[in-house]
């Protein structure tokens, strides 16, 4: 997988996030579709489909968060980029990355605490831990802190240059 700009030690992490979030997204679509078919064709529903689809949705969203962060796809205001010298923009990016890393480290710590607290609880329809709803948050925040520290070191908004044309989708 070619990820230009991404530090070499983060490439396996990025690849794992891409695969895991893609699989989770595919499972959401498959589970919801199968449940709809079961309801309207067979007049019965798949008991665990709703809960597992919600779990996979949480995994897809939170494992996708660091992917968006590494590509600079988060919400940002770039007004200062146009009016300040490049060195000041890089300084602002670094300060923002440090403060964001601190915030996400706090979220990591709290999500880890909540995950461990709920680990012995079981989901309603599946023999799985309720802590699995908090595990992707914990993983996402840990990876995002590392990404933000790399962004701070680099002084750039992105780690991965994905070369999407400017302006996005019409």
Task: Return the domain boundaries, the chain.
Answer: 8-154
8 Å CB contact between 24 and 65 = no
Burial class (CB in 10 A: 0-12, 13-18, 19+), 160: buried
Q: Distance between CA atoms of 160 and 5, rounded to whole angstroms?
A: 5
Closest of 170, 4, 20, 12 to residue 71, by C-alpha = 4
Q: What is the pTM of this model?
A: 0.82
Mean pLDDT by 10 residues, the chain (170 residues): 71 90 96 93 89 95 91 73 81 88 96 96 92 95 93 78 52
What is the helix (H) or strand (E) element at residue 61, kind and residue range? helix 49-70
């Amino acid at each position: 997988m070619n990820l230009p700009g991404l530090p070499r030690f983060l490439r396996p992490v990025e690849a794992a996030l891409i695969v895991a979030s893609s699989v989770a997204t595919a499972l959401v679509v498959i589970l919801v579709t199968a449940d709809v078919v079961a309801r309207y064709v067979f007049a019965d529903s798949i008991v665990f489909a709703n809960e597992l689809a919600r779990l996979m949705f949480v995994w897809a969203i939170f494992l996708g968060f660091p992917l968006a962060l590494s590509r600079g796809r988060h919400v940002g205001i770039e007004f200062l980029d146009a009016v300040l010298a490049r060195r000041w923009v890089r300084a602002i990016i670094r300060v923002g990355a440090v403060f964001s890393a601190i915030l996400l480290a706090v979220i990591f710590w709290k999500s880890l605490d909540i995950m461990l607290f709920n680990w012995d609880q079981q989901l309603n329809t599946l023999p799985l831990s309720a802590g699995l709803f908090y595990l992707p948050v914990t993983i996402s925040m840990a990876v995002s802190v590392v990404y933000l520290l790399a962004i701070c070191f680099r002084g750039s908004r992105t780690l991965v240059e994905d070369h999407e044309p400017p302006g996005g989708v019409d």
